Structure 1
Amino acid sequence: MALRPDLAIIAGAVPAATRVLDVGCGDGDLIAALRDKGVDARGLEIDAANVTAAIARGQSVVQGDANHDLADYPDDAFDYAILSQTLQTTERPDRVIAELLRIAPRAFVSFPNFAHWRVRLALLWNGRMPVTRLLPVAWYETPNIHHVTVADFRDLVRARGIGVEAAWYLSGDKPTSAAAATWRAEHAIFLISRG
């Protein structure tokens, strides 16, 4: 099965023989790809049905909430933490990022970019919260509680002294350059590290 484009980028960037925690792992697609390359991958997932599906695939996944349960992991328990398309659903993204970098020296964080030109155009033209491929439901039924942009994320990590080791941007499912990523990228993936 083909991985979602952001997950494929992350899977390609995680070195073999490392320990990884995938926070918000869904049914474990990324964990399966990482295990195929010799990574000790584990997951934390809030949805019970996804946890059951991942366990049925032989994966080490526990049910938990990134907002509260990351505190149960010891410092430096992993080499990498992954938070893919979950940041915008957390209560306090800044605290979740701090927890990721406490339990691992590096973390991959990906999110839909709310400043993408289609989102901006929908707001300008219709005066309503947009419904797009990456933001597929109406504002009142979305799990997203914090709409984040590439510029917002860059500002947050800079203010917190967090390093950015790499960044990837997707327009549709294809890579796009960092030039004008704030409005061109539908999706951003950052590899961050302790400052």
Structure 2
Amino acid sequence: MNQAVIDSLATRADFRAIARWVEPRSTVLDLGCGDGALLALLGEELEVRGYGIEINDAGVLACVKHGVNVIQQNLEDGLRLFEDDSFDFAILSQTLQTIHQTAAILRETVRVGKQCIVSFPNFGYWPHRLSVVKGRMPVSKSLPYQWHNTPNVRVLTIEDFEALAPEVGIEILDRVVLHDGRTVRWGENWRGSLAVYRVKRS
């Protein structure tokens, strides 16, 4: 496996959770795929076939280096290129919080994917709450940017996502909440720093 992929896997706890849910030899659309590391990993381990969508020039070039099929496009423009149920899995891996049109993108994601996987940093994690109480925006492993240079335009909690899901026509099939790569089994909304969901159109 490419060393860059291994390095990305080591720093992205959600990749393992995602890989457990993706079926071998399935078709995958990775929305906001970054450097293509997740698709490269899934291709290597599960022989998936798929495409990434990425707007950033550096990300697109990295995808090409990883041998990942990539389309350079702004997700905010929607997914009109794809018909309903075009892919077995559509993935939003730590992309949701970077999007302005959150509800619209979620609807589009479950439209083009028969099943979908969504992961995001949980703003309800207790050190994040404590940081806000102290008067500062949180900076952590799951939210590594300062307020003035963050790519994140939304902050959400596990409870926020679960409240929004039925409003946008999403059925939650499964969930895993993580912190430092370990599964959090109680007090998830305040003890977990990263949430990963398997969903479909309701």
Question: Same fold by TM-score, threshold 0.5 exceeded?
Answer: yes
Partner secondary structure for residue 49 of structure 1 = helix
Query: 1:69, CA displacement in angstroms?
Result: 4.1
Q: Over residues 95-123 of structure 1, what are the superposed CA-to-partner deviations in whole Å (9 max), with x where a residue is unaligned?
A: 10000011112110000000100001111
The structure 1 residue matched to 2:90, chosen from 81, 86, 101, is 81
Partner secondary structure for residue 72 of structure 1 = coil
Q: Over residues 67-86 of structure 1, what are the superposed CA-to-partner deviations in whole Å (9 max), with x where a residue is unaligned?
A: 11422222211111000111
The structure 1 residue matched to 2:192, chosen from 169, 185, 190, is 185
Return closer, same or farther for 1:186/1:92 CA change in 2, 3 Å cut-off: same
Query: 1:162, CA displacement in angstroms?
Result: 1.5
Rounded Cα–Cα distance in structure 2 between residues aligned with 1:49 and 1:75: 29
Return closer, same or farther for 1:163/1:46 CA change in 2, 3 Å cut-off: same
Query: 1:45, CA displacement in angstroms?
Result: 0.8
Query: 1:38, CA displacement in angstroms?
Result: 1.6
Superposition misfits of 4+ residues, deviation over 4 angstroms: none
Q: Over residues 143-165 of structure 1, what are the superposed CA-to-partner deviations in whole Å (9 max), with x where a residue is unaligned?
A: 11110100000000133342111
The structure 2 residue matched to 1:48, chosen from 54, 57, 76, is 57
TM-score computed with the length of structure 2 as normaliser: 0.91
Residues 107 and 169, structure 2, Cα contact 8 Å, conserved in 1: no
TM-score computed with the length of structure 1 as normaliser: 0.94
Partner secondary structure for residue 108 of structure 1 = strand
Match of 1:121 in 2: 130
Residues 78 and 108, structure 2, Cα contact 8 Å, conserved in 1: no
Letter in 2 for 1:11: A
Which stretch has the larger CA shift, 83-92 or 152-161? 152-161
Rounded Cα–Cα distance in structure 2 between residues aligned with 1:193 and 1:29: 24
Match of 1:16 in 2: 24
Residues 34 and 41, structure 1, Cα contact 8 Å, conserved in 2: no
Q: Over residues 8-63 of structure 1, what are the superposed CA-to-partner deviations in whole Å (9 max), with x where a residue is unaligned?
A: 11012100121100011111111111112121121001111111111122211111
Rounded Cα–Cα distance in structure 2 between residues aligned with 1:111 and 1:46: 19
Query: 1:92, CA displacement in angstroms?
Result: 1.3
Residues 172 and 199, structure 2, Cα contact 8 Å, conserved in 1: yes
Unpaired runs of 5+ residues, structure 1, are none
Partner secondary structure for residue 71 of structure 1 = coil
Partner secondary structure for residue 109 of structure 1 = strand
Partner secondary structure for residue 22 of structure 1 = strand
Q: Please report the RMSD computed on the Cα atoms of aligned residues, expressed in angstroms.
A: 1.3
The structure 2 residue matched to 1:194, chosen from 175, 198, 201, is 201
Letter in 2 for 1:160: V
- 2:159 aligned with 1:151: yes
Superposed counterparts of 1:160-175, under 5 Å? 160-175=168-183
Match of 2:184 in 1: 176
